[in-house]
């Protein structure tokens, strides 16, 4: 089993008396991680929110019912907890009235689970987000040299656990993930009757990855109104399929404000939506894949290190650009991404002068591990 970076961090909080909530997309390894965390426990009450019997059993609970259900158990583990109505209030009963019970809950959609949990469990929980396998986790497992040899594969097929551990079935697994299975919670909770428009929007985003996104243009392309596009994108972000990167601005006149780029948490999901698993050396979209890979991996690094860093891109009306900017504790760092190490770098002089930076490092396949491991450039 590939050890997850979050495991050690979560263990630090397990004896705090608060509920542990692990978010992440389906099939990313939340259940496996929870089982690993509980591997030394024996008195576990396990429930799965996808199971109809579980939802019926927990439809109405009070303290007496919890005592009956849990008995002498010391741990309550609820998988896919977002499927259980009013789960936040139900867990609040346990944390308040049965403080000896340790709680771990997982959820594949923050938009529902968080709405039901945040207010009832304010001050009573720790939240963690689990992503597809990170470069750092794969380096720890396989070794630096071995993992860097798989760069081309990761750019095309991504880093979902079953894709990594069973590469011979990678395309089949991605086809399954990019069917309605991955979007089950979106369809269930967002009152979307048909996945057709959702898939059309995701396909459009996959084609535009790394480019500035216009909700108006997407609405026209997908035959939807602007507000619906914005709503679907927000829900897909809360379902951990995509994430948004805003433009960076300190209110200088010529900087673009309110722009955004959208990236996928996993390259394999992006390519799966397009049905394109063409080997890297034959592709025309290598630059897009490289940028999405670096952005998603840096996102994983920030999440796994519990950093408060925020990511941006920068562009002026004169089309001067910086691919990635990170701001943390008032300090700004900037990076350019180039698949071809000999590729021409955009003019970054103005940005460096404006924000008083000595350099803008260029991340290429020759040095990308410095950027993704966080040793030379900490998140």
- Of 263, 209, 254, 259, residue with least CA distance to 351: 254
What class does CATH assign to 5-129? alpha beta
**Each residue's pLDDT expressed in tens, for the chain with a length of 379 residues:** 899 999 999 999 988 889 999 999 889 999 999 999 998 888 999 999 989 999 999 999 999 999 999 999 999 999 988 888 888 888 999 999 999 999 999 987 664 555 566 567 778 889 999 999 999 999 999 999 999 999 999 999 999 999 999 999 999 999 998 886 667 666 666 666 667 788 889 899 999 998 888 888 898 988 888 888 888 888 888 888 999 999 887 665 554 456 789 999 999 999 999 999 999 999 999 999 999 999 999 999 999 998 999 999 988 777 778 999 999 998 999 999 999 998 877 777 888 888 889 999 999 999 999 999 999 999 8
Phi and psi at residue 44, in whole multiples of 5°?
A: -115, 130
Specify whether the CB–CB gap between 78 and 106 falls below 8 A. Answer: yes
Label residue 123 left, alpha or beta by phi (over 0 means left) and psi (-120 to 50 means alpha): left
Q: Where are the domains of the chain?
A: 5-129, 135-373
Q: Which residues lie closer than 8 Å to 165 by C-beta, 6 or more apart?
A: 2
Which two three-digit tokens encode residue 221? 């392309």
Model pTM? Answer: 0.92
Sort 52 into a burial class: Cβ within 10 Å, 0-12 / 13-18 / 19+.
Answer: exposed
- DSSP-assigned letters across all residues of 180-213: IITTHHHHHHTT-S-HHHHHHHHHHHHHTTTSB-
């Amino acid at each position: 089993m590939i050890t997850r970076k979050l495991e050690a961090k979560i263990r630090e909080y397990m004896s705090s008396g608060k509920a542990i909530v692990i978010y992440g997309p389906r099939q990313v390894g939340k259940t496996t991680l929870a089982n690993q965390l509980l591997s030394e426990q024996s008195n576990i009450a396990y429930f799965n929110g996808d199971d109809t019997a579980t939802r019926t059993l927990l439809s109405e609970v009070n303290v007496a019912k919890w005592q009956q259900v849990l008995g002498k158990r010391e741990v309550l583990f609820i998988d896919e907890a977002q499927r259980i109505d009013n789960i936040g209030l139900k867990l609040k009963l346990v944390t308040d009235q049965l403080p000896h019970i340790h709680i771990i809950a997982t959820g594949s959609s923050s938009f529902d689970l968080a709405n039901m949990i945040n207010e009832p469990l304010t001050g009573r929980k720790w939240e963690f987000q689990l992503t597809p396998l990170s470069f750092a986790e794969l380096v720890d497992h396989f070794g630096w040299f071995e993992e860097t040899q798989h760069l081309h594969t990761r750019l095309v097929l991504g880093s979902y656990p079953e894709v990594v551990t069973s590469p011979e079935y990678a395309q089949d697994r991605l086809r399954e993930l990019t069917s309605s299975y991955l979007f089950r919670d979106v369809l269930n909770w967002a009152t979307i009757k048909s996945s057709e428009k959702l898939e059309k929007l995701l396909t459009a985003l996959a084609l535009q990855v790394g480019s500035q996104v216009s909700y108006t243009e997407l609405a026209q392309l997908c035959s939807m109104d602007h507000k619906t596009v914005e709503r679907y994108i927000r829900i897909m972000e809360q379902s951990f399929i995509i994430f948004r990167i805003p433009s960076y601005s300190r209110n200088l006149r010529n900087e673009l404000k309110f722009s955004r780029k959208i990236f996928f948490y996993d390259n394999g999901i992006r390519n799966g939506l397009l049905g394109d698993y063409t080997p890297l050396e034959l592709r025309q979209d290598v630059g897009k894949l490289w940028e999405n890979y670096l952005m998603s991996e840096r996102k994983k690094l920030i999440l796994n290190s519990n950093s408060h860093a925020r990511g941006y891109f920068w562009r002026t009306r004169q089309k001067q650009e910086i691919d990635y900017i990170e701001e943390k504790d008032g300090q700004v760092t900037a990076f350019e991404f180039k698949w071809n190490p000999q590729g021409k770098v955009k003019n970054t002089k103005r940005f460096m002068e404006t924000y008083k930076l000595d350099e803008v490092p260029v991340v290429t396949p020759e040095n990308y591990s410095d950027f993704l491991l966080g040793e030379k450039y900490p998140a």
